[in-house]
Amino acid sequence: MSKSWMSGALGAVLMAFAAATPASAQVKPKVTESGVEHPHSAIYIGNSFFYYNNSLHNHVTPLIHAADPKYRFRSTSVTISGSGSDWHDVGSYFRPNAIGRYSFNAKNEIVFNKIDRLFDLAIMMDCSQCPVHPQLKAVFFEQMKQHADTVRKYGTKPVFFMSWAYADAPEMTAQLAEAYTSAANDSDAFVIPAGLAFARAVARRPALNLYVADKRHPSLAGTYLAAATTYGALFRKSPVGLKYTAGLSQETAAFLQATAWQTLQEYFPTLAAAARN
């Protein structure tokens, strides 16, 4: 048996092992909770990764209500197709009597909101490649820091939403994890590690498709996984067992809920310690 054959076989084994192992951020998050123990409002600022499948926020809120039907939570999404963080004039989203002034209830009736503070949380993401693109990653760090400073002026806590790799470019997972974690640490911001949850789900159940045909945008299962990760991160509670499934099968929803919670406990060791106590 030749050394070159053995070397090639060993390389193949290592590559297979790496492919089956979810990526994780080498840089550890400095901020381990959102800073709002009981958030009641959020604005999602981003692009089509948010608004696919009737918008991420319209899946996070039912998870919140599944955990506590009486819990009041107001959220809205401000998205621009294909946008990077530098496309958004975040300060303009905090104009008084503008975004969030009214909403619609289950009966499609307009409800005028009594707002003391526009939003408790601002959940923000960049374009899918911007944080790791050689010509745009510096803009990512600059703009996310600027947006974090902007929302704080209005009493809102900044939250960075770590996006996922393309289905055919899994190497993006670790790159995005590093970029979002580093940028959040620079800005003293909290991170929702949705991208790491995607990688974990793909590694454990590759037949479950988290993407639509373009291999970038989320399928309903992908949006649900992102929503379960967002719920668990913001409320520091496990989504496992929540009855809202977004129309997915109970078995699929349970897998995605568990994946979200496992990812959060790995990314935030203090959360894992709290869950054991």
**What is the reported pLDDT for 5?**
38
The Cα 16–Cα 18 span in angstroms is 5
- Token pair 């039907």: residue: 69
**What is the reported pLDDT for 91?**
96
Mode of pairing for the β-strands spanning 110-112 and 121-124: unpaired
Q: What is the pLDDT of residues 243-254, one digit of tens each?
A: 999 999 999 999
What is the DSSP code (8-state) at residue 29? P
**What is the reported pLDDT for 22?**
53
The parts of the chain modelled with pLDDT lower than 70 are: 1-25, 273-277
Q: Is 23:162 a contact under the CB 8 Å cutoff?
A: no
Strands, DSSP E only, in 146-207? 157-161, 190-192
- Sign of the four-CA dihedral 50, 51, 53, 59: positive
* 70: phi then psi, degrees, rounded to nearest 5: -90, -5
Strands, DSSP E only, in the chain? 41-46, 74-79, 102-104, 110-112, 121-124, 157-161, 190-192
Cβ neighbors of 266 (< 8 A, separation 6 or more) are 24, 196, 272
Q: Is 57:124 a contact under the CB 8 Å cutoff?
A: no
- The pTM for the full model equals 0.89
The widest CA-to-CA distance across the chain, in whole angstroms, is: 76
**What is the reported pLDDT for 104?**
84
Q: Is 188:12 a contact under the CB 8 Å cutoff?
A: no
Q: What is the pLDDT of residues 229-241, one digit of tens each?
A: 999 999 999 999 9
